[in-house]
C-alpha cells in the first residue's frame, strides 16, 4: 500500500461493484430488483479507468457483482485488470451461466474467491430464484469448480422464512459437492423483498438462525462465514464473532459500492437513498474525499441512534450494526432490531463481557463519556 493511501483516514479497502444490472433471474428477494440492463451502464473504457482509479486508491478487494456479472461480456478483462492493478478479484454469481468454458476462465484469472448463491433445496431455490433449473445449475457450477481442485469458491445463502427450516439440508448439499466455505446472511427487506415483507425473519425467529450458525461452527464440517448483519453483541452474538469486538458497518470508511451506471454508495446493499454521487459527474476519488459524503458513518453521533440502539452500552463500538439492515427495518441508520444483545436482554439473558470487549468499552466510555461523536477507525 502506498504511503499516500496509508496516510488516508478513509480508503475503499473493499469495493463491491455491480458491473451490470442485467440479470437472467428475477429473484423474489433481490435487494436491488435487478433485471434489465440499464441504458447508461459504464462503457468498457470507463470501467477499466474505474478499476485503475480504485487500485490507485488502495482498494484491496474488488468484487464483481450485479445483476448477474457473467452477463457483461468484458467481465474477464475487468477481473484481470483488478489483479494486474494489485488488488484481489472476487465474483458473485447465481451460477446459471457457468459452464466448463467459464470455469476455465475462473481458473485462468485466479479469483481470490467466487461466491455462488445457493438458497435452498431444489423446489425452494427454484421458487426464490423464479427460474427452473437454477438449483441444478448453481449446484453444477459448484461441482465443476470443486472438481478442478484449485478454484476457491464459496456458497452464499440469504436466509428468510422461505428457507430458514432448510439450513441442514442446504449444508448437506454443499458438503456433498465439496464446498468448503458457506457465507450466510439474513435477507433484508430491500428491493423486491419489500413485496415479500412477511418472509423477512422476525426477531423471534432470528435466534434460531444464530443457533444454527453456532452449531455448524462447532461441528466444523464447513467453514462458516457469518454475514455482517448477524450477531453483534450479547452472549451468542459475541460467540458467533469468536469473542472479538464487533465494530459495525464500515460503509464509506473502508467499504464502497458502485452501481453499473456509476452511482457511488458506502455499500452496494444500501438503497438509492444513500447514493453520494456519480463518477460521470465527479471522479470516484472526489466523491470519496468529499467531506460532506458518507456522513452517516464518518460523523456518527449517539443522537443519531434510535429506539433499539439509543441507550445501548455497545453503541460506541457497534454503531447500530449493519446500516442496511437497520435502515430496511426501521428507516434509521442505527435502530436495529436484529441484534442478539437486545433480543437476549428482552428475555432476561445477559452475559459478562470478555476482557477485550470490557477494556474497549471502558476506554471509549471514559474517552467519550458514553457518547459517540466522530468515530475514527
Ligand X SMILES: C[S@@+](CC[C@H](N)C(=O)[O-])C[C@H]1O[C@@H](n2cnc3c(N)ncnc32)[C@H](O)[C@@H]1O
* Residue 321 binding partner per list ligand SF4, ligand X, none, with a CB distance cut-off of 5 to 8 Å that depends on partner kind: ligand SF4
The length of the chain, given as a count of residues: 377
Give the Cβ contact number of residue 157 at 10 Å. Answer: 21
* Residue 113 binding partner per list ligand X, ligand SF4, none, with a CB distance cut-off of 5 to 8 Å that depends on partner kind: none
According to DSSP, residue 47 is labeled: H
- Give yes or no for residue 187 binding ligand X (CB under 6 A): yes
* Residue 156 binding partner per list ligand X, ligand SF4, none, with a CB distance cut-off of 5 to 8 Å that depends on partner kind: ligand X
Q: Is the dihedral of CA 235, 253, 15, 273 positive or negative?
A: positive
* Residue 185 binding partner per list ligand SF4, ligand X, none, with a CB distance cut-off of 5 to 8 Å that depends on partner kind: ligand X
In sequence order, what are the residues at sequence separation of 6 or more whose Cβ sits closer than 8 angstroms to the Cβ of residue 338? 186, 201, 203, 206, 229, 230, 321, 322, 325, 326, 329
* Residue 318 binding partner per list ligand SF4, ligand X, none, with a CB distance cut-off of 5 to 8 Å that depends on partner kind: ligand SF4
Interface ranges with ligand SF4 (CB under 6 A): 23, 25-27, 30, 34, 66-68, 94, 232-233, 308-309, 312, 314-315, 318, 320-321, 336, 339, 341-342
* Residue choice 12, 31, 58, 237 for contact with ligand X (CB under 6 A): 31
Nearer to ligand X, 18 or 276 (CB): 18
Site for ligand X, residues 67 to 106, rule: CB under 6 A? 68, 92-94
Which of 105, 115, 49 minimizes the C-alpha distance to 82?
Answer: 49
Which of 64, 68, 110, 109 minimizes the C-alpha distance to 91?
Answer: 64
Nearer to ligand X, 190 or 336 (CB): 190
**Phi, psi dihedrals of residue 364, rounded to the nearest 5°:** -70, -35
Nearer to ligand SF4, 60 or 335 (CB): 335
Q: What angle do CA 151, 155, 160 make, to 5 degrees?
A: 170
Distance CA 82, CA 77 (A): 9
Structure-block grid coordinates of residue 241? 464473532
Pattern 132-161, binding to ligand X, x per CB under 6 A? ------------------------x-x---
How much of the chain is in helix, strand and coil states, percent to nearest 5?
40, 15, 45
CB of residue 256 to ligand SF4, shortest distance in Å: 19
Nearer to ligand SF4, 58 or 237 (CB): 237
CB of residue 252 to ligand X, shortest distance in Å: 19
Residues in the site for ligand X, rule: CB under 6 A? 23, 29-32, 65-66, 68, 92-94, 117, 156, 158, 185, 187-188, 190-191, 193
Amino acid at each position: 500500500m502506498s504511503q499516500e493511501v496509508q496516510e488516508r483516514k478513509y480508503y475503499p479497502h473493499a469495493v463491491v461493484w455491480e458491473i451490470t444490472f442485467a440479470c437472467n433471474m428475477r429473484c423474489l428477494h433481490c435487494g436491488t430488483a435487478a433485471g434489465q440492463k440499464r441504458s447508461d451502464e459504464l462503457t468498457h473504457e470507463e470501467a477499466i479507468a474505474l478499476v485503475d482509479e480504485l487500485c490507485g486508491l488502495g482498494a484491496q478487494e474488488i468484487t464483481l457483482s450485479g445483476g448477474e456479472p457473467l452477463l457483461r461480456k468484458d467481465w474477464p478483462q475487468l477481473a484481470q485488470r483488478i489483479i494486474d492493478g494489485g488488488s484481489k478479484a472476487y465474483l458473485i454469481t447465481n451460477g446459471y451461466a457457468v459452464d466448463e468454458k467459464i470455469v476455465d476462465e475462473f481458473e485462468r484469472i485466479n479469483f481470490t474467491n467466487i461466491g455462488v448463491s445457493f438458497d435452498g433445496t431444489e423446489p425452494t431455490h427454484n421458487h426464490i430464484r423464479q427460474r427452473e433449473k437454477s438449483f441444478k445449475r448453481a449446484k453444477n457450477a459448484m461441482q465443476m469448480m470443486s472438481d478442478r481442485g484449485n478454484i476457491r469458491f464459496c456458497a452464499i445463502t440469504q436466509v428468510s422464512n422461505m428457507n430458514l427450516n432448510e439450513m441442514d439440508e442446504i449444508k448437506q448439499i454443499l458438503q456433498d459437492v465439496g464446498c468448503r466455505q458457506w457465507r450466510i446472511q439474513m435477507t433484508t427487506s430491500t428491493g423486491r423483498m419489500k413485496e415479500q415483507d412477511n418472509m423477512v425473519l422476525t426477531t423471534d425467529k432470528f435466534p434460531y438462525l444464530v443457533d444454527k450458525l453456532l452449531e455448524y461452527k462447532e461441528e466444523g464440517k464447513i467453514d462458516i462465514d457469518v454475514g455482517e448483519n448477524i450477531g453483534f453483541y450479547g452472549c451468542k452474538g459475541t460467540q458467533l464473532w469468536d469473542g472479538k469486538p464487533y465494530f459495525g458497518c464500515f460503509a464509506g470508511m473502508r467499504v464502497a459500492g458502485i452501481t453499473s451506471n456509476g452511482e457511488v454508495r458506502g455499500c452496494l446493499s444500501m438503497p438509492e437513498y444513500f447514493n453520494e454521487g456519480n463518477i460521470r459527474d465527479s471522479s470516484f476519488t472526489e466523491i470519496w474525499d468529499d467531506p460532506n459524503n458518507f456522513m452517516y458513518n464518518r460523523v456518527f453521533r449517539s443522537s443519531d441512534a434510535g429506539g433499539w440502539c439509543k441507550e445501548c452500552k455497545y453503541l460506541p463500538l457497534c454503531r447500530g450494526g449493519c446500516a442496511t439492515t437497520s435502515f430496511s427495518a426501521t428507516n434509521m441508520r442505527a435502530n436495529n432490531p436484529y441484534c442478539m444483545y437486545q433480543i437476549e436482554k428482552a428475555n432476561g439473558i445477559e452475559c459478562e463481557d470478555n476482557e477485550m470487549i470490557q477494556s474497549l468499552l471502558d476506554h471509549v466510555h471514559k474517552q467519550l463519556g458514553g457518547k459517540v461523536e466522530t468515530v475514527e477507525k
